[in-house]
Amino acid sequence: MNGFGGFLCGGGRWLAGLVALAAVLFAGVAYAQVGEETQFILNTFSFLIWGVLVMWMCAGFTMLEAGSVRTKNASVICLKNIGLYSIAGVTYYVIGYNLMYVDVGDLIGSFKGLYGPSAEELSLLALGEGASEAAVEAAKSAVGANGYAVMSDWFFQMVFVATTASIVSGALAERVRLWTFFAFTVVLTAVIYPIVGAWTWGGGWLAQWGFQDFAGSTIVHSTGGWAALAGALVVGPRLGKFKKDGRVKPTPPSNVPAVTLGVFILWLGWFGFNGGSVLAMSGTVEAVTMANVLVNTNLGAAGGVLAVMCVSRPILGRVDLLAVLNGAIAGLVSITAGPDIVDHYWAIIIGVIGGVLCTGGIKLLEMVKVDDVVGAVPAHLVAGVWGTLAVCIAGGGDFVVQLVGVLSIGVLAFSLSLLVWFGLEKTMGARIERDHEMLGQDAAELGIEAYPEFVVVPDADEFEEMSK
């Protein structure tokens, strides 16, 4: 009994000691979680990880577009998407970020070239091994006061501008010149998008008015949609797409699984798009907000899918898979302006309406003979406008301010894009030659085929167009 009791007493003392040690350790951890350095690390890590997830959306756009076009144009789509991402990275580093965020007045930021770490960060990195502990701590404190590493924010913002450019790529697929598209991408990512961003997220006049757009329904998606619409008007429809008798030639996806996979990748990337836009991950409030944002993002997309499954037959005459997939994107775009709402059922309603409007937009574009290969304009422009206005219903936005923001950004993005597209049409030519369109851009422009085991047979409608 004494031995067993002694064992119990000794074990109890050991247990009590472990509990006391754990309490000390966890108390230290709890303290660190609210410390400046830990907040700095968490915020920086958040920007980088969410940014990587948004970057992966480029893969989603690539799969969606490559599967939507005919096989003879799939390789060019792949080149366009990796090219536009690279262009966006360079132009946003050279000038775009400064125009959008640095020394912004009412309209625009700084024209100073290049962007880099802060002076405090450079001073910290310049400290050698012989630096005193006091000097290191002072330098770390100066850096930590910013809340996050400067270039982590740049990276997170850069992947957003690449998303805007991707929207244009899909709408103009199969007939726009490769280098003309790249030239437009330079202007879009270096000038047009940064001006829109300066007005809003950069603290310009719309921000001062109280314009709300949490993660970019209008700032990112409608801007890309307006640019795509301008390009579609200048470049024109694909050969044989619209008949003289009013019929519209069906152009189903060449690779349905690829399109579906692309949409799922976009859906996944959207969690970074909206979740990262909380812009912090260093406290309980931010954690709860981020959880709500991700749930609402998912519900908005699901609502868009279910709505289009129900309305595509009455509107389009069939249960259209491509329209249903666009319903997911439309739901995501719609909820992006206000994903931080607390009442989650509103996310479903906003996504449902976004999906219905997108499907109606697909039909409307066909009626007015505007050729949008992937439905980018309805999914991003139409749904983006709706989502921005929906903030007034569930997110406390002011309708007049939201409407002014939508209209002013629309006028700016569309007019500048139209001007640039017209300029490129007169100088470089916006559309590929007819024989190149009939043969396919892969063979005509790249000398490579995405599916070399298949023989590409030109469409009879294209022969008919060539004979005119």
Per-residue pLDDT tens over the stretch 266-288 = 999 999 999 999 999 888 999 99
pLDDT score of 164 more than 50: yes
pLDDT score of 15 more than 70: no
In this predicted structure, what is the pLDDT of residue 458?
Answer: 59
Average pLDDT over residues 205-224: 97
In this predicted structure, what is the pLDDT of residue 459?
Answer: 63
Whether residue 202 contacts residue 208, with contact meaning beta carbons closer than 8 Å, is answered with no
CA pair distance 51, 47, nearest whole angstrom: 6
In this predicted structure, what is the pLDDT of residue 323?
Answer: 94
Per-residue pLDDT tens over the stretch 146-161 = 999 999 999 999 999 9
Between 126-130, 193-197, 304-308, the lowest mean confidence (pLDDT) is in 126-130
Whether residue 223 contacts residue 122, with contact meaning beta carbons closer than 8 Å, is answered with no
In this predicted structure, what is the pLDDT of residue 129?
Answer: 79
In this predicted structure, what is the pLDDT of residue 319?
Answer: 87
In this predicted structure, what is the pLDDT of residue 251?
Answer: 85
Average pLDDT over residues 344-371: 96
pLDDT band at residue 465 under the 50/70/90 scheme: low
Per-residue pLDDT tens over the stretch 36-45 = 888 999 999 9
Whether residue 178 contacts residue 445, with contact meaning beta carbons closer than 8 Å, is answered with yes
pLDDT score of 189 more than 50: yes
Closest CA to 351 of 342, 364, 362, 338: 338
pLDDT score of 394 more than 90: no
pLDDT score of 52 more than 70: yes
In this predicted structure, what is the pLDDT of residue 466?
Answer: 53
In this predicted structure, what is the pLDDT of residue 237?
Answer: 94
What's the 3-state SS for the chain?
Answer: CHHHHHHHHHHHHHHHHHHHHHHHHHHHHHHHHCCHHHHHHHHHHHHHHHHHHHHCHHHHHHHHHHHHCCHHHHHHHHHHHHHHHHHHHHHHHHHHHHHHHCCCCCCCCCCCCCCCCCHHHHHHHHCCCCCCHHHHHHHHHHHHCCCCCHHHHHHHHHHHHHHHHHHHHHHCCCCECHHHHHHHHHHHHHHHHHHHHHHCCCCCHHHHHCCCCCCCHHHHHHHHHHHHHHHHHHHCCCCCCECCCCCECCCCCCCHHHHHHHHHHHHHHHHHHHHHHHCCCCCHHHHHHHHHHHHHHHHHHHHHHHHHHHHHHHHHCCCCHHHHHHHHHHHHHHHCCCCCCCCCHHHHHHHHHHHHHHHHHHHHHHHCCCCCCCCHHHHHHHHHHHHHHHHHHHCCCCHHHHHHHHHHHHHHHHHHHHHHHHHHHHHCCCECCHHHHHHCHHHHHHCCCCCCCCCCCCCHHHHHHHCC
Beta bridge partners of residue 265, listed in sequence order: none
Average pLDDT over residues 191-210: 97
CA pair distance 286, 280, nearest whole angstrom: 6
pTM (predicted TM-score): 0.88
In this predicted structure, what is the pLDDT of residue 36?
Answer: 84
In this predicted structure, what is the pLDDT of residue 455?
Answer: 58
Per-residue pLDDT tens over the stretch 284-305 = 999 999 999 999 999 999 999 9
In this predicted structure, what is the pLDDT of residue 447?
Answer: 86
CA pair distance 43, 46, nearest whole angstrom: 5
In this predicted structure, what is the pLDDT of residue 155?
Answer: 97
* 48/34: higher pLDDT: 48
pLDDT band at residue 467 under the 50/70/90 scheme: low
Average pLDDT over residues 159-172: 95
* 17/405: higher pLDDT: 405
pLDDT score of 313 more than 80: yes
Average pLDDT over residues 64-70: 95
In this predicted structure, what is the pLDDT of residue 34?
Answer: 55
pLDDT score of 464 more than 70: no
In CATH terms, the fold of domain 39-275+282-466 is Ammonium transporter fold (1.10.3430)
pLDDT score of 9 more than 50: no
pLDDT band at residue 32 under the 50/70/90 scheme: very low
pLDDT band at residue 91 under the 50/70/90 scheme: very high
pLDDT band at residue 132 under the 50/70/90 scheme: confident
Between 161-175, 266-280, 339-353, 439-453, the lowest mean confidence (pLDDT) is in 439-453
CA pair distance 284, 448, nearest whole angstrom: 53
Neighbours of 203 (CB within 10 A): 17
Percentage of the chain beyond pLDDT 70 is: 90
Average pLDDT over residues 247-276: 94
In this predicted structure, what is the pLDDT of residue 156?
Answer: 96
Average pLDDT over residues 231-256: 90
Average pLDDT over residues 365-378: 95
Cα end-to-end distance, the chain, whole Å? 107
Average pLDDT over residues 206-210: 97
